[in-house]
Amino acid sequence: MDIYKSCTLCPRMCGVDRTVKTGACGMGTQVYAARAALHMWEEPCISGEVTEGGRKGSGAVFFVGCPLGCVFCQNRSISRGEGGMPLDADALADVFLRLQDEERANNINLVTATHFTPTVADAVGKAKMRGLFIPVVWNSGGYERVETLSRLDGLIDIYLPDLKYVSSELSARYSHAPDYFAAAKCALDEMFRQVGEPRFSGGGELPEGIMTRGMIVRHLVLPGHTDDSIEVIRYIHDRFGDGVYISIMNQYTPMGELPYPELARTVTDEEYDRVVDYAVGIGVKNGFIQEGGAVGESFIPSFDGTGLRGR
């Protein structure tokens, strides 16, 4: 596809000819994925519950590479552009339909697919023509271009973006992206324009309470940075009110040696409670919080090709 020849899919706008070399995302034009399987650790209205004979879990497809490259990334074994298995649009459509029909997933959860948007959009369109009916979730770091998201209009049912920072100082330090908030707030507006306010299944083919349309904005609280977390929550609530869900996460896990000593610990209960209490205090009604026990590498799935091409 011509868009890959001078790539401007993400806000990095690297302009690299990805048919020849890798872009800022670490990838060329070939789509690589590292896992396609049921995932039980998303928000309850995405993952659902395990029930006998019913649908269960989110059908998560994890893509290799990432435009953002956060220093604390929990998926760094694939986000840096290594590993995975090659797939074209037809093979991806097969994966989506297998997750729906054989694995009985509640949705198709596209994890970090921004840098492969044209191919993934093609795959979703093909799968829908072949009978894909469960919701499609776009799960991203929030670092998106409106022009790229417009390619997904009508294909994506649920947007599940992060809003990681308001501070450009923090986004430059930890994600090498001083323009993160400027890009993300425009992206969230476009996502909301496409899907609107949340809707949920009343039962039937999908379990009751599963989200069928809408947006959940995630925020991962970082150790020592609750002031910025509060600014994030304030922005989301001021901008969208009860039109979106806010998911406040406490699962930050230090991954290996980091150049920033302040990130070498988990978030304290006091830090997390401060952010949650702020959200409650300003009237956030539609939200998710995490109980204790969400921290740890055991919550990171194995990126071993599960669910891809007979694995």
What does the pLDDT look like over 40-52, one tens digit per residue? 999 999 999 876 6
Amino acid of residue 163: L
* Beta-carbon-side half-sphere exposure of residue 147 (alpha carbons within 13 Å): 7
Amino acid of residue 36: A
Q: Which residues pair with 158 in a beta bridge?
A: 137, 214
Cα angle: 124, vertex 146, 151; to 5 degrees: 25
Q: How confident is the model at residue 299 (pLDDT cuts 50, 70, 90)?
A: low
Q: Tell me the whole-structure pTM to 2 decimals.
A: 0.96
Contact 79, 113 (CB under 8 A): no
- Chain-centroid distance, C-alpha 275: 21
Instruction: Count Cβ atoms within 10 A of the Cβ of residue 210 and give its class: 0-12 exposed, 13-18 middle, 19 or more buried.
Output: buried
Can you give the pLDDT at residue 106? 96
Can you give the pLDDT at residue 255? 83
Instruction: Count Cβ atoms within 10 A of the Cβ of residue 98 and give its class: 0-12 exposed, 13-18 middle, 19 or more buried.
Output: middle
Can you give the pLDDT at residue 311? 47
Condensed to tens digits (0 to 9), the pLDDT of residues 142-174 reads 999 999 999 999 999 999 999 999 999 999 999
The domains of the chain, with CATH numbers, are 30-299 (3.20.20.70)
The CA R_g of the chain, rounded to the nearest whole Å, is 18
Amino acid of residue 298: S
Q: How confident is the model at residue 295 (pLDDT cuts 50, 70, 90)?
A: low
Can you give the pLDDT at residue 292? 64
Helix, coil or strand: residue 168: helix
Two tokens, residue 286? 């539609």
Q: Which residues contact 148 (CB under 8 A, 6 or more apart)?
A: 9, 10, 114, 117
Amino acid of residue 216: I
Q: Which of 173-177, 204-208, 217-221 has the lowest mean pLDDT?
A: 204-208
Q: How far apart are CA 25 and CA 286, in angstroms?
A: 33
Condensed to tens digits (0 to 9), the pLDDT of residues 66-108 reads 999 999 999 989 999 899 999 999 999 999 999 999 999 999 9
